[in-house]
Amino acid sequence: MSWENSGMQALIPIINRVQDAFTQLGTSVNFELPQIAVVGGQSAGKSSVLENFVGKDFLPRGSGIVTRRPLILQLIQDRNEYAEFLHKKGHRYVDFDAVRKEIEDETDRVTGQNKGISPHPINLRVFSPHVLNLTLIDLPGLTKVPVGDQPADIETQIKDMIMTYITRETCLILAVTPANSDLATSDALKLAKEVDPQGLRTIGVLTKLDLMDEGTDARDILENRLFALRRGYVGVVNRGQKDINSRKDIKSQLDAERKFFISHPSYRHMADKMGTQHLQQTLNLQLTNHIRDTLPALRDSLQKKLFSMEKEVAEFKNYQPNDPSRKAKALMQMVQQFTGDIERSIEGSGGKNVNTNELSGGARINRLFHERFPFEIVKMDIDEKELRKKIQVVIRNIHGIRVGLFTPDMAFEMIAKEQISRLKEPSLKCVDLVVNELAAVVRQCAETMVRFPRLRDEVERIVVTNMREREQNAKLQIAQIVDFELAYMNTNHEDFIGFSNAEAKASQGQSSKKNLGNQVIRKGWLSVHNISFVRGSKDCWFVLTSDSLSWYKDDEEKEKKYMLPLDGIKLRDLESGFMSRQHKFSLFYPDGKNIYKDYKQLELGCNNLDEVDAWKASFLRAGVYPEKVKAPEDESSDTVEDTSSMDPQLERQVETIRNLVDSYMRIIVKSIKDLVPKAVMHLIVNQVSAFVREELLMNLYQVDQDSLMEESQAEAQKRDDMLRMYHACKEALRIISEVNMSNLDALPPPMPTPDYRNNGPSPSMGGPPGGMPRIDQMSMQPRPAPAPPGGRPAPMPPRPGPGGPPPPGMRPPPGGPGFGAGPPLIPTRAPTPNGAAPMIPARPARPY
């Protein structure tokens, strides 16, 4: 182990402790811890590779899916040899047959005995002097066909489980593939390619090299020339089924594996880079490097998570669920927050909690007052022909047997009162709509009390009960408003047309339609569904005026598509088609003529019902009324004469009464539109807000406080999970803080080379076997010459320079002193006794 950096080797146990910190506290690891996932098909040799690492038989074996839960295997170098499960912490297993039995029992405990799988991992630690620090996750083998009672989608379940691990960027993939199968069809490499297309995180392992057909080998793959991976391939030879049945010792197998690679002609040149021992060293080094690279990001993630939970955890530091003072304080805070939320929702607020997706609270109530309520009033408008027929019948009945010379004012009063009484229905419907919206606001604001479900239900019950009481009173008061209008007909109103003006208007035959000019009523986007210039549906920009409907290509209103006059057009609702989320309505002519080109109707749509109601109200202002459902014809109606048989005098009286009713109804409708919203606000909305602000807390104190402030099990579990996560993150940060990052950067091991054909040392091992230092760790400075036998190093002669005497045995520079620096001089050889060749001194021994 001399090739390892002790500081680096401490990283794997650090990550193991971090993982245990989350597991022991019952919290799932939501962070991407650096790890190695073992992936391969069934019978690919994954279990044998792991057992070779440990040197013991301890994994379940059999046919079909044997590994049915992820096994987190932590190999820890220790002087003693034993195993320990995290779910049985403190219980040491010396007999590894008992380890296998415990894995099988723990798997069956969660998954049952029907060969099902589970994503909940089993944590196993193996302490041994024969292992390197390493952590691997053994995943279920990929399968194609369900076995026994396995579900039909077992292949998808296993693949999804594997993907949850290998999709993480911090996970290295150990792709185990048998060499006696086609590598192009390897399930492990296929999955690795999906999540790691460049092969940066994948380590290939070839098993069953000794079972390949004679005359074939995997040299091209192991030399990384075929299906190249950035981290390369390692070949291993495991025990066969016959060896396992005969209980062949793993140590003997490792010796046989070594002999196989040394003696095989295709692998002998890379024998030191093959085998289980080299694979273990490679994984140890690469996992260590990987941890070193990802540790700063992991520490940042833990710090961010811890900081985000600080505020919530601060509320529970001294948490006592049964403390009466705490319950009273929490009740006060909840009610105050609920009251503030109610007021902000109704009155409006510029705070951070404003809904940006749809109208809510007070905005929806405002829309009910100014769009939905007027729409409901206009919808009750009767057919003009039917109204004139009623006026004719009333005038004739009032005149009786006499011929009427004057227009009877009683006819106006009877027809006007009949129309006024019909205003009760839309007025009371407005109350229902507002109450429903207010109840939705109460439910939404009460969700802040979700921690205390009994308190939330009690608050909703008290407030809604009070609201219903206010609703009944408001309906009585609003009905009285209509009764007030029926009680006295104020024909002296300044806006009333009067009899003289009505008769003059009737004589002139003026239309009673209000002239709005060509003012713009509404603009917006609508989807057109049945026009040929769009395929399917397309959004266009529509402009509605009092006379026409125009649509454009966009809201710049430069390219007009068409302009449709509104005279005689009606409106009807359409049912949304299957799989359609839009609400639609259409425009059409009642007589059946084409409204646009060859189309009988123009189908328009909006994304929500609120927009549809707003457009309907706008069309009503423009005089486009909804289609009326025709009532079944009554035979008794034949007794009424057709209006076409009226004499001119009766026709003039009918027109006069019609003008009077229309003028007076405009006054009444204007008053109702103004008074009903005011009454609803005063009698319901404002009263409910005052009740919540002043009396809600008093009503809550009349209920048992212990049951009222009982915390829900879901919230208690959520709080416990948050506290566990907080302490787990805190413990993980404490563990990581023990790592000195400056020491880790001192000797960064290199990434393994993808080509094994070079003759240099194995980078995946960190250096050649036998404890030789790596080339990249050697100093690139030149070594000084060895000292002579006397112990003193030889003195370095000074470099000759201008003005200095030449060193002994050196010729002076040409030109004499002061001539300047010339070319370097060649020293003369010193004379030797008897003219013999000089002796070369023996090289002193290098001190180590």
pLDDT tens for residues 249-297?
A: 888 888 888 999 999 988 989 888 899 888 888 888 888 888 788 778 8
Give the pLDDT of residue 577.
Answer: 60
Nearest by Cα to 527 from 572, 584, 609, 601: 584
Most confident listed range (324-333, 634-643, 763-772): 324-333
Residue 61 has pLDDT above 60, yes or no: yes
**What is the band of 679 on the pLDDT scale with cuts at 50, 70, 90?**
very high
Give the pLDDT of residue 480.
Answer: 92
DSSP states of 36-100 as a string? EEEEEBTTSSHHHHHHHHHTS--S---SS----S-EEEEEEE-SS-EEEEGGGTT-EE--HHHHH
Residue 172 has pLDDT above 80, yes or no: yes
Full 3-state SS string of 168-181: CCCEEEEEEEECCC
76: left (phi over 0), alpha (psi -120 to 50) or beta: beta
Give the pLDDT of residue 637.
Answer: 42
Lowest-confidence range among 42-56, 319-333, 635-649, 696-710? 635-649
Give the pLDDT of residue 496.
Answer: 79
Q: Which CATH architecture has domain 526-622?
A: Roll (2.30)
Nearest by Cα to 30 from 326, 386, 308: 308
Give the pLDDT of residue 243.
Answer: 78
pLDDT tens for residues 495-527?
A: 877 766 766 665 565 444 444 456 788 888 888
Query: Tokens standing for 474?
Result: 């408001």
Give the pLDDT of residue 478.
Answer: 92
Q: Give the Cα separation of 3 and 768 in Å (integer).
A: 9
DSSP states of 381-402 as a string? PPPHHHHHHHHHHHHHHHHTTS
Query: Tokens standing for 605?
Result: 């749509």
Give the pLDDT of residue 476.
Answer: 93
Give the pLDDT of residue 449.
Answer: 83
Q: Which helix (H) or strand (E) holds 235?
A: strand 233-235
Query: Tokens standing for 260?
Result: 């196989």
Q: Which helix (H) or strand (E) holds 363?
A: helix 362-367
Residue 629 has pLDDT above 90, yes or no: no
Give the pLDDT of residue 475.
Answer: 92
Residue 141 has pLDDT above 80, yes or no: yes
**Which residue(s) pair with 76 in the sheet?**
127
With contact defined as beta carbons under 8 Å apart, do 342 and 442 qualify? yes
Lowest-confidence range among 237-241, 381-385, 798-802? 798-802
In the DSSP assignment, the letter for residue 637 is G
Alpha-carbon distances, residue 483 vs 133, 478, 677 (angstroms):
91, 9, 17
**What is the band of 680 on the pLDDT scale with cuts at 50, 70, 90?**
very high
Residue 642 has pLDDT above 60, yes or no: no
Residue 213 has pLDDT above 50, yes or no: yes
Rg (CA), the chain: 46
Q: Which helix (H) or strand (E) holds 234?
A: strand 233-235
Query: Tokens standing for 331?
Result: 């009740």
Count of Cβ atoms closer than 10 Å to residue 256 Cβ? 14
**Which residue(s) pair with 606 in the sheet?**
583
- Residue 630 backbone phi and psi in degrees, to 5: -75, 130
Q: Give the Cα separation of 627 and 170 in Å (integer).
A: 65
Q: Give the Cα separation of 647 and 399 in Å (integer).
A: 15
- Residue 210 backbone phi and psi in degrees, to 5: -80, -5
Taking all residues of the chain, what is their mean pLDDT, rounded to a whole number?
75
CATH fold group of domain 340-347+359-511+644-708: Four Helix Bundle (Hemerythrin (Met), subunit A) (1.20.120)
In the DSSP assignment, the letter for residue 331 is H
Residue 701 has pLDDT above 80, yes or no: yes
Q: Which CATH architecture has domain 33-301?
A: 3-Layer(aba) Sandwich (3.40)
Most confident listed range (334-348, 724-738, 754-768, 771-785): 334-348
Full 3-state SS string of 17-36: HHHHHHHHCCCCCCCCCCEE
Q: Give the Cα separation of 452 and 449 in Å (integer).
A: 6
pLDDT tens for residues 432-487?
A: 999 999 998 898 888 888 888 888 888 999 999 999 999 999 999 999 999 998 89
Q: Give the Cα separation of 762 and 714 in Å (integer).
A: 56
Give the pLDDT of residue 31.
Answer: 59
Residue 230 has pLDDT above 80, yes or no: yes
Q: Give the Cα separation of 298 and 34 in Å (integer).
A: 9
With contact defined as beta carbons under 8 Å apart, do 461 and 446 qualify? no
**What is the band of 200 on the pLDDT scale with cuts at 50, 70, 90?**
confident
Domain ranges of the chain: 33-301, 340-347+359-511+644-708, 526-622
Give the pLDDT of residue 56.
Answer: 83
Alpha-carbon distances, residue 374 vs 134, 384, 390 (angstroms):
75, 19, 25
Give the pLDDT of residue 144.
Answer: 72
Mean pLDDT over 177-200 rounds to 86
User: Which residue type sits at 176?
Assistant: V
Give the pLDDT of residue 47.
Answer: 81
pLDDT tens for residues 101-113?
A: 898 888 888 877 7
Give the pLDDT of residue 432.
Answer: 92
Percent of the chain at pLDDT exceeding 70: 73
In the DSSP assignment, the letter for residue 406 is S
Model confidence pTM above 0.75: no
E strands present in 334-444? none
With contact defined as beta carbons under 8 Å apart, do 67 and 47 qualify? yes
pLDDT tens for residues 750-782?
A: 444 434 334 444 433 344 433 433 333 333 344
